[in-house]
Amino acid sequence: MRQKIEMKVFLEVYPPHEWSDQDRVLTEMAKEIMHKAHAPYSDFLVGAALLLDNGKMFAANNQENVSFPVGVCAERAVLSYAIGNFPESRPVKIIIVAKKREAGRYATVTPCGLCRQTINEYEVKFDAPIQIMMLSPNGDLLLAQSIEALLPFRFNDLNA
């Protein structure tokens, strides 16, 4: 090996007393809709809440299907709906919460590969980072400042 190409990534940790008012509202929205998930196959409930730069907030949950790959994650559900309706409004932040049904505490959910690529798509569309916050089991929010922290060496240019 002659050379190494390295990318360092990190998550920031925010305990509840450091959350912004918007973080609190988005987290509550995500928790509330998480309980309405259609997840009879995995029993893994996910809620995602999204803030757009027009100030509007949206939330969605995972929707599973008996033909498993047809299911949709909470993140892609909320992104499709919000940006589908407000195609000129930049997504600022997405907060994700998850819990196994009947579990006593939240699970940390970092977006799956398909959702990472989807978030990347909207960073490219709006030429701006999207903050991704994930509720951890101990109640802190973990923050990725951009999808780049979760998808290093991402694919985003057909002409590069």
List contacts with ligand THU (CB under 6 A).
39, 42, 44, 46, 62, 64, 71, 73-75, 109, 111-112, 115
The position carrying tokens 């499709």 is 80
Query: Are the CB atoms for 62 and 72 separated by under 8 Å?
Result: yes
Concatenating the DSSP letter of every residue in 33-97 gives HHTT-B-TTT-EEEEEEEEETTS-EEEEE-B--SSGGG-B-HHHHHHHHHHHH-TTSPEEEEEEE
Measured CA to CA, the distance from residue 36 to residue 97 in angstroms comes to: 13
Nearest residue (CB) to ligand THU, 42 versus 145: 42
The position carrying tokens 């579990």 is 103
Number of H helices, E strands in the chain: 3, 6
